[in-house]
Amino acid sequence: MPTLLHIDSSALSEGSVSREVSAAYRAAWEAANPGATVIYRDLAAEPLPHLDAAGITAGFVPAEHRSPEQQEAHDLRDRLISELEQADAVVIGTPMYNFTIPSSLKAWLDQVILMGRSAGEQPSAAGTPVTVVSSRGGAYGPGTPRESFEFVTTYLEKVLTGMLALEVDFVVPEFTLARVNPAMAEFTDLADASKAQALVDAAARAQAVGAGVPA
Ligand SMILES: Cc1cc2nc3c(=O)[nH]c(=O)nc-3n(C[C@H](O)[C@H](O)[C@H](O)COP(=O)(O)O)c2cc1C
């Protein structure tokens, strides 16, 4: 039975654009795979602990010599990596916070990236398609004044392909603050168009992935 790993990281439970678009992906993917399994992680509602010394050192210690703290930390990493390994597709919703990803998503990445298993010579989830929904209040596309401040897609592209060997693509609703910030009122039409396009793109991507069409 196919499995989707669906991750959200917006701190907002209401009015989140990344949640709305990742949900559109999920709905289209489920329509293409009736009865399939979805593993859902809401990193804002249930934050993961930061990777700590116990989690880092546990991997270098034989199981029978691990402290209880190391074993607990290792079990969490094992569970999170297993979720990624089980997945036939992944969708990640991430807002831009201060030019980059939320710390909750960084915590997930630090837990999941484990040399010798999910990363390294033979990454265990290599080739899995992942769609990142990157919502942002302003605009950071090519040629915009803030292009060089963009560390969401640039970072995730590197870490998801370079470390985990996933097949990554991005859906990017922009100008989301136009509807809440009066100073950005002139961008409202662009914001609405960007979100509408993102919803279409996410559903199309999910249908293609769900039907097994190569990226
Ligand atoms: C703490 C915080 C920091 C933010 N930093 C930025 C930023 O650096 N650049 C930007 O364009 N928007 C920024 N925003 C706006 C969000 O990226 C925007 O509201 C986005 O839609 C959030 O995703 P969501 O709608 O899924 O919650 C920030 C919002 C918050 C709450």
State how far the Cα of 157 lies from the Cα of 151, in Å rounded to an integer.
10
Residue 92 CB less than 6 A away from ligand 1: no
State how far the Cα of 4 lies from the Cα of 89, in Å rounded to an integer.
5
Residue 151 CB less than 6 A away from ligand 1: no
pLDDT tens-digit readout, 34-86: 999 999 999 999 999 999 999 999 989 999 999 999 999 999 999 999 999 99
Question: For ligand 1, atom 17, which residue shows the shortest CA distance?
Answer: 136
pLDDT tens-digit readout, 120-138: 999 999 999 999 999 999 9
pTM: 0.97
Atom of ligand 1 minimally distant from the CA of 176: 21
Q: How far, in Å, from the CA of 136 to the mean position of ligand 1?
A: 5
Q: Which DSSP helix (H) or strand (E) runs through 17?
A: helix 17-32
What confidence score (pLDDT) does residue 211 get? 73
Q: Which two tokens stand for residue 8?
A: 């959200």
**Number of other residues whose CB lies within 10 A of the CB of residue 60:** 8
Residue 134 CB less than 6 A away from ligand 1: no
Query: Confidence class of residue 213 from pLDDT cuts 50, 70 and 90?
Result: low
Atom of ligand 1 minimally distant from the CA of 12: 27
Atom of ligand 1 minimally distant from the CA of 100: 8
Average pLDDT score over residue span 1-26? 97
Atom of ligand 1 minimally distant from the CA of 149: 8
Select from 96, 103, 148, 187 the residue to mutate for testing ligand 1; criterion: most ligand atoms less than 8 Å from CB: 96
Residue 194 CB less than 6 A away from ligand 1: no
Buried b vs exposed e over 181-211: b needs ≥16 C-beta within 10 Å?
Answer: eeebeebeeebeebbeebbebbbebbebbbe
Sheet containing strand 89-95, strands side by side: 37-42, 3-8, 89-95, 129-135, 167-171
Nearest to 138 by CA among 196, 97, 82: 97
Task: Output the CA angle 169-175-176, nearest 5 degrees.
Answer: 90
pLDDT tens-digit readout, 161-210: 999 999 999 999 999 999 899 999 999 999 999 999 999 999 999 999 87
Phi, psi dihedral angles at 192 (to 5 degrees) = -65, -40
Phi, psi dihedral angles at 11 (to 5 degrees) = -70, -20
Atom of ligand 1 minimally distant from the CA of 140: 11
Residue 19 CB less than 6 A away from ligand 1: yes
Domains of the chain as residue ranges with CATH? 3-210 (3.40.50.360)
